[in-house]
Chain A
Amino acid sequence: MFFEFSEILSATQIVLSYGWVLPIGLVVGIVVGAIPGFSASNTLMMLLPMTMAMDIYPALIFMSAVYCGGNMGDSVPAVLINTPGSGGSVTTCFDGYPMAQKGLAQQALVISIIASAIGGLSGSVVALFLMSALGKVALKFKNAEMFVVVLFGLSLIAQLSSKNLAKGFLAGFLGLLIGAIGFDHMWSIPRATFGVLELYEGAPRIAAMVGLFAISESLIMVDRLTIAGEKQRVSTEWSGVKEAIRMAFKWFWGNVRSGLIGMVVGVLPGAGASIASFVSYQQAMNFSKRPEAFGSGIPEGVMASESANNGVTGGALVPLLTLGIPGSATTMVMLIVIQSHGMPIGPRLFETAPVLGYSVVIAMIFTYLIMSFVGLPVVYRLAKLTLFSTFVLAPIIISLTMIGAFAERAYYVDMVIAMIFGVIGYFMKKTGYPPHAAILGIILGPMVEHYFLLSMRLTNNSPTTFFRSGISITLWVLLFVTLLGPMVYKKIKAVLKTN
């Protein structure tokens, strides 16, 4: 323990000596995260030649800051134009955009910054001190356990569909089926590729996301003159910022809880910010005194999503630094940089260069500490965008999202696919089918199938594989409690009230 503390202190000194890199990386991350479909991982991949040429410490500190900034910045389009900047901010749209439509865009943006900072900070601090223990826990999550974790995320489809179950489930099933386009996991047989070579790898998730959200929303928004509504007053005063900060701290422990949910999910390799924010949103809804208000534009919905979205960053570093397994696309780029500098990866990192490992997490902690001060001046005036003419905004949004669609794989056909999904998303929104359910299916569907088939294959097609380990049984129990618990609780409460 004493040995670890001295390493942590040395790492802190190194991070502070390169402190000037943090605000630069944070601003870069926020800006690129705010472009729908263009995430921090894309940016870091493009800046790889630069980071590989830098000294290892400033390179990793810069990448940590961009990662954190990207996960915060993706809430900006989610609030302003109902378009998630990345998969982790899909749930931010549920309440952030309704808040913007009520003229509360500034509040929503400020709340998301503070919640991101609190959630990210709690996730990073816990990850710092429990790193080796969490790494060992992550190893125990095999295919069967991961299958149940992903089911957690998918179960949100049921809760999102409360207004019309049939339409919600149809959208979810359609999304899952679209996610199953491409080579299958066992035999590499192409499925439903329409003869398009680029679809053999699967349906492009970013193109689907920007199409279903950004492009469809742009097609819809031209029916109004402005996003906020012609008679809506949009607050951009400093008093609104203070009120939003007060609101965010009022829900402080909720943000911490969501950040820790994000951290735990982030520890699981491949789980990612999408699942973290879905699970956190669902838990916040279940624990809330007014669950029916979620989705109508309440701050708790924004905070639950953003805290978890940023709590993931600390968790994703755990498998990277302790096991050498990248937990996300961004940490994969970090791994490349670590390896290129001749540093060991996996458990040997903390034996031979522990200060390096700790410095990455500490850089993240400092980034979250300064996030509110750096991020607020950048984003709080963006609320005025809701007063701009939609005739100008819509083509700009479509142009920017096309870059996001193209950036994932550099295929022109992804832009065409994004446009097709835009038209589908338009019809979905106009006829009451939740596009969120569809994108949930597209993102999580491939994971569900992958973990399901692998689990079955490795145990000679025995379905009992999903109920063998203590971890999977615990997860199943939690899943059923999450799904049925609120219903049972309401019924018991009603019966007690009658009696």
Chain B
Amino acid sequence: MKNKLFESVIPFLALLFSAYYFLTVMEAPWEAKIYSYVLIIGIMICSILIGVKTYAVKKGTGALHVDERKETRKAGRRLPIILVSSIAFVISIYVLGYIPSAFLFIFISPLLLGYRKKVIFVTASAVVGFIYLLFVQILKMKLPMGVFFS
């Protein structure tokens, strides 16, 4: 059951997005919606075919392709760690700015994942130093400063 839910994520998201898109262009002139209507119909047909194939597999009348069987294996416990820390990184860019957030992210994430070598502090400093030198000093690019420091 869990596997079927996992398999359904992309078709579900595609149909949800198609429904939302349809609602936003319903009242629009034909030039604004004809292209998207064709795509939405395509998404619906593909979703039906995928649903039929998945149902046929469930009933034992169909078979998954070899690659599909490999792809549905469970993710380890490291995925939630890297996912949550990445989301925290993006949020902290808004608060602290890019440079401090990047340093904290590159330093803390490997520790949370189980990397225990002391060189991680040097690595994080070197990477952030390289980013600062190349993008801020040489290319004069303005990286997000964050609400805290701006």
Q: Does A238 contact B (CB under 8 A)?
A: no
Q: How far is the CB of A292 from chain B (nearest CB, A)?
A: 14
Note all chain A residues with C-beta closer than 8 A to B20: 192
Most buried by A among B25, B35, B43: B35
Chain B 71-94 interface residues, beta-carbon cutoff 8 Å to A: 71-72, 75-76, 78-79, 81-83, 85-87, 89-90, 93-94
Residue ID in chain A nearest B35 by CB atoms: A449
Contact A191 B21 (CB under 8 A): yes
Would B31 and A431 count as touching, CB distance under 8 A? no
Q: Does chain B have a CB within 8 A of A373?
A: no
B120, closest chain A residue (CB) = A392
What CA separation (Å) do A176 and B31 show in the bound complex? Answer: 16
Partner of A427, one of B10, B40, B50, B78: B10
**Residues of chain B in range 136-150 having any CB-CB distance to chain A below 8 Å:** 139-144
Which range holds the interface residue count of chain B?
A: 35 or more
Given contacts A219-B79, A429-B71, contact A46 B109 (CB under 8 A): no
Return chain B residues, CB-CB under 8 Å to A403: 98, 131, 135, 141, 143
Is there contact, CB below 8 Å, between B86 and A422?
A: yes
Residues of A within 8 A of B144 (CB): 406, 412, 415
A457 at the interface (CB under 8 A from B): yes
Docked complex: B1-60 residues within 8 A CB-CB of A: 6-7, 9-11, 13-14, 17-18, 20-21, 24-25, 28-29, 31-32, 35-36, 39-40, 42-43, 46-47, 49-50, 53
Known interface pairs A163-B65, A180-B35, A406-B143; A189-B25 also in contact (CB < 8 Å): yes
Which chain B residue shows the least CB distance to A389? Answer: B115
Stretch at the interface among A52-60, A266-274, A393-401, A466-474: A393-401
Q: Do A423 and B7 touch across chains, with their CB atoms under 8 A apart?
A: no
Other-chain contact of B139, A47, A170, A406 (Cβ < 8 Å): A47
Chain A residues contacting B65 (CB-CB under 8 Å) are: 163-164, 432
Is A170 touching B46 in the complex (CB atoms < 8 A)?
yes
Scan residues 421-452 of chain A and give those whose CB is less than 8 A from a CB of chain B: 422-424, 427-433, 448-449, 452
What A residues does B87 contact at CB under 8 A?
419
Contact with B along A206-233 (1 / 0, CB 8 A): 0000000001001100110000000000
CA distance A169 to B45 in the complex (A): 10
Which A residues touch B114, using CB under 8 A? 391
A174 within 8 A of B: yes
Other-chain contact of A177, B39, B71, B83, B106 (Cβ < 8 Å):
B39
B43-A173 in contact (CB<8A): yes
In angstroms, how far is the closest chain A Cβ from the Cβ of B124?
9
How many chain A residues touch B (CB < 8 A): the figure is: 65
Q: Which residues of B contact A334 (CB under 8 A)?
A: none
Q: Is the CB–CB distance between A187 and B32 below 8 Å?
A: yes
A429 to B94, CA, bound (A): 29
Taking A174-B43, A192-B17, A399-B106 as contacts, is the C-beta distance between A457 and B36 under 8 angstroms? no
Contact between B72 and A431 (Cβ–Cβ < 8 Å)?
Answer: yes
* Distance from B145 Cβ to chain A, minimum over Cβ atoms (Å): 10
In the complex, residue of chain B having the shortest beta-carbon distance to the beta carbon of A429: B71
In the complex, what distance in Å separates the CA atom of A412 from the CA atom of B86?
15
B contact residues around A176 at 8 Å (CB): 39
A198 at interface, CB cutoff 8 A: no
Nearest chain A CB to B118 CB, angstrom units: 13
What is the 8 Å Cβ interface bit string for chain A, positions 157-183, against chain B (1 contact, 0 not)?
000000110110111011011101000
The answer to whether A169 and B46 touch (CB under 8 A), given A46-B140, A177-B40, A430-B6, is yes
Q: Is A402 an interface residue (CB 8 A)?
A: yes
Known A-B contacts A223-B79, A412-B94, A415-B90; A430 and B106 likewise in contact (beta carbons under 8 Å): no
Given contacts A167-B50, A174-B14, A392-B120, contact A453 B31 (CB under 8 A): yes
| Contact residues in B for A391 (Cβ distance below 8 Å) | 78, 109-110, 113-115
Given contacts A180-B39, A396-B127, A400-B131, contact A170 B14 (CB under 8 A): yes
Establish whether residues B46 and A173, one from each chain, have CB atoms under 8 Å apart when the complex forms.
yes
The answer to whether A191 touches B25 (Cβ under 8 A) is yes
Identity of the chain A residue whose Cβ is nearest the Cβ of B46 in the assembled complex: A170
A410 located at the interface, meaning its Cβ lies under 8 Å from any Cβ of chain B in the complex? yes
Task: Please name the residue on chain B nearest to A441 by beta carbon.
Answer: B39
B67: chain A residues at CB < 8 Å are 163, 432
Q: How far, in whole Å, are A219 and B67 apart by their CA atoms in the complex? A: 19
**Contact in complex: B82, A394 (CB < 8 Å):** yes
**A222's contact among B71, B113, B135, B143, by CB below 8 Å, is which?**
B113
Taking A169-B46, A184-B32 as known contacts, 5 extra A-B pairs with beta carbons closer than 8 A to each other, sorted by chain A number, are A186-B29, A219-B82, A391-B115, A412-B93, A432-B71
The 8 residue pairs across chains A and B that have the minimum distance between CB atoms: A170-B46, A184-B32, A391-B113, A395-B109, A173-B42, A391-B115, A186-B31, A166-B49
A–B Cβ pairs within 8 angstroms, 18 of them: A46-B141, A163-B67, A173-B14, A180-B35, A180-B36, A189-B25, A192-B17, A218-B86, A219-B79, A222-B81, A394-B109, A395-B85, A396-B106, A398-B86, A402-B93, A412-B94, A415-B144, A448-B35
